[in-house]
Structure 1
Amino acid sequence: MYDRILVPTDGSTHADAAADTALELATALDATVAVVCIVETGLLGSVSLPGDGGSAEDVLGEQAAEFVEEIADRARARDVSVTSDIRQGVPVREILEYAGEVDADVIVMGSRGRGGVSRMLLGSVTEGVTRHSDRDVLVVGRDGTDIATGDETDFES
Structure 2
Amino acid sequence: MYERILVPTDGSSHADAAADTALELASALDATVAALSVAETGPLGAVSLPGDTGSAEAVLGERADEFVTQIADQARERDVSITTEVRQGVPVREVLEYAEEIDADLIVMGTRGRGGISRMMLGSVTEGVTRHSDCDVLVVGRDGNAVSTAP
Q: Same fold (TM over 0.5)?
A: yes
Change (3 A) 1:52 1:139: closer
1:36 is matched with: 36
Contact 1:8 1:36 in 2 (8 A): yes
Q: Distance in 1 between matches of 2:68 and 2:142?
A: 18
The gaps in structure 2 that reach 5 residues or longer are: none
Q: Distance in 2 between matches of 1:59 and 1:38?
A: 12
Contact 2:52 2:59 in 1 (8 A): no
- 1:55-94 to 2 correspondences below 5 Å: 55-94=55-94
Q: Distance in 1 between matches of 2:126 and 2:50?
A: 33
User: Radius of gyration: which is bigger?
Assistant: 1
The code of the aligned residue for 2:80 comes to V
1:127 is matched with: 127
Report the TM-score when normalising by structure 1.
0.86
How far apart are 1:55 and its partner, in Å? 1.1
Aligned residues: 147
1:137 is matched with: 137
CA RMSD of aligned residues (A): 2.1
How far apart are 1:115 and its partner, in Å? 1.1
How far apart are 1:129 and its partner, in Å? 0.2
DSSP-derived class of the 1:104 partner: coil
DSSP-derived class of the 2:117 partner: helix
Q: Distance in 2 between matches of 1:96 and 1:49?
A: 26
The code of the aligned residue for 2:145 comes to T
- For residues 67-96 of structure 1, the C-alpha deviation after alignment (integer angstroms, 9 at most, x for no partner) is 000001100111111000001111111000
1:155 is matched with: none
The code of the aligned residue for 1:107 comes to I
1:116 is matched with: 116
Contact 1:6 1:99 in 2 (8 A): yes
Report percent identity of matched pairs: 78
Q: Distance in 2 between matches of 1:125 and 1:39?
A: 13
Q: Distance in 2 between matches of 1:129 and 1:50?
A: 29
Change (3 A) 1:7 1:28: same
2:19 is matched with: 19
How far apart are 1:148 and its partner, in Å? 3.4
Change (3 A) 1:137 1:52: closer
Contact 2:4 2:105 in 1 (8 A): yes
Change (3 A) 1:125 1:49: closer
How far apart are 1:50 and its partner, in Å? 7.9
Q: Distance in 2 between matches of 1:19 and 1:50?
A: 27
How far apart are 1:47 and its partner, in Å? 6.0
Tell me which protein shows more strand as a share of its residues: 2
